[in-house]
Chains A and B, each alone.
Chain A
């Protein structure tokens, strides 16, 4: 399909979004990422049954935590799509990038930490 999505996005592959822990999302922000979204399978279609449901709960937890430490909760989001939905992934990538761009750079980005190193 040769779809394009913003080059600012770095993809971290996991076997299932159920592998994504709270600390992974926090570390990404702490190390300088402007935003993080978790792209899981459609709810009800998890190969491991509940991985994406668990991921959503963790994302919600992180969003609440961010609000308590003075960061915008919208820097973290959960999306669901099937592996066959390439165009949807590209669309969400653009949507998330635009949303984060509106929020501005990560205010806690530590000087000297390169964005590429953020997981």
Chain B
């Protein structure tokens, strides 16, 4: 899922301090799972903002809502009758949700309430880590199911590099060397012979290097 972390409250205050009515809009998708932007976080941020502005003797009405998802128009549409009552929306969705909210309500000021970080997994309660960079052409079939693009700091297609030491990456002793992980995995599967065939250069056009991406599934269109 897409991981995000709450923005510092000072940063949000800076954006909305001159307004009178703000709606804090959460997203019950990915950002709710990583405890950054779901209903619970909406309640906490809204309460904190109300108290902050009350402390400043500033009139500020803070509304609360959390949508099923902010990356689908049908759910964003639920705010149609309500959003006009506010001067701005603080969206706790990922960057995609914030932008879709902006596109849906083009007259409304929309501010992000979280910093979107990466596509990843829940290692344990309260700990999340990266697994995918959405490069657009998946290599996992040839790397034992471990992604060199997201797990190797250099995104090497043929590793490990000289910076790998005792299974750790040179950037940080806490970071596992992605290629060491791939090696161990392929060794366990008895598929080390794959290392005899270097991976050819990757066509990065399907990644961000090709500009903003879009995809269409014709049979799904109405």
Bound form: Cα–Cα A17–B159 in Å: 49
Q: List 9 A-B contacts (CB under 8 A).
A: A21-B40, A22-B44, A27-B47, A30-B47, A30-B50, A30-B51, A71-B55, A108-B51, A110-B54
Given contacts A107-B55, A108-B54, A110-B54, contact A69 B40 (CB under 8 A): no
> At the interface, yes or no: A23 with Cβ under 8 Å from chain B?
yes
Secondary structure at chain B's binding surface: helix, strand, loop or mixed?
helix
B44 touches A26 (CB 8 A): yes
Contact with B along A28-42 (1 / 0, CB 8 A): 011000000000000
Bound form: Cα–Cα A21–B56 in Å: 26
Interface residues on A, range: 10 to 19
Report B's interface with A, CB cutoff 8 A.
8-10, 40, 43-44, 47-52, 54-56
> At the interface, yes or no: A7 with Cβ under 8 Å from chain B?
no
Residues of A within 8 A of B9 (CB): 65, 68-69
Bound form: Cα–Cα A74–B129 in Å: 34
Instruction: Return A55 CB to nearest CB of chain B, in Å.
Output: 15
Bound form: Cα–Cα A103–B53 in Å: 19
Bound form: Cα–Cα A110–B54 in Å: 8
8 A Cβ contacts from A1-34 to B: 21-23, 26-27, 29-30
Residues of A within 8 A of B8 (CB): 68
Q: Contact partner of B51 among A21, A22, A23, A26, CB < 8 A?
A: A26
> At the interface, yes or no: A70 with Cβ under 8 Å from chain B?
yes
Besides A27-B47, A70-B55, 13 more A-B contacts (Cβ < 8 Å) are A22-B40, A23-B47, A26-B51, A68-B9, A68-B10, A69-B9, A69-B49, A69-B51, A69-B55, A70-B56, A71-B51, A107-B54, A110-B54
- Which B residue's beta carbon lies closest to that of A69? B52
Contact with B along A61-79 (1 / 0, CB 8 A): 0000100111100000000
5 closest cross-chain pairs (CB), A and B: A69-B52, A108-B54, A26-B47, A70-B55, A23-B43
Residues of B within 8 A of A110 (CB): 54
Residues of A within 8 A of B55 (CB): 69-71, 107-108
Residues of B within 8 A of A23 (CB): 40, 43-44, 47
Bound form: Cα–Cα A110–B47 in Å: 13
Bound form: Cα–Cα A102–B54 in Å: 21
Instruction: Return A75 CB to nearest CB of chain B, in Å.
Output: 11
Residues of A within 8 A of B47 (CB): 23, 26-27, 30
Residues of A within 8 A of B48 (CB): 26, 65, 68-69
Residues of A within 8 A of B50 (CB): 30, 108
Bound form: Cα–Cα A65–B13 in Å: 13
Interface-centre pick from B40, B48, B49, B56 (highest chain A CB count, 10 A): B48
Bound form: Cα–Cα A101–B55 in Å: 18
Bound form: Cα–Cα A110–B50 in Å: 10
- Which A residue's beta carbon lies closest to that of B126? A57
Residues of B within 8 A of A107 (CB): 54-55
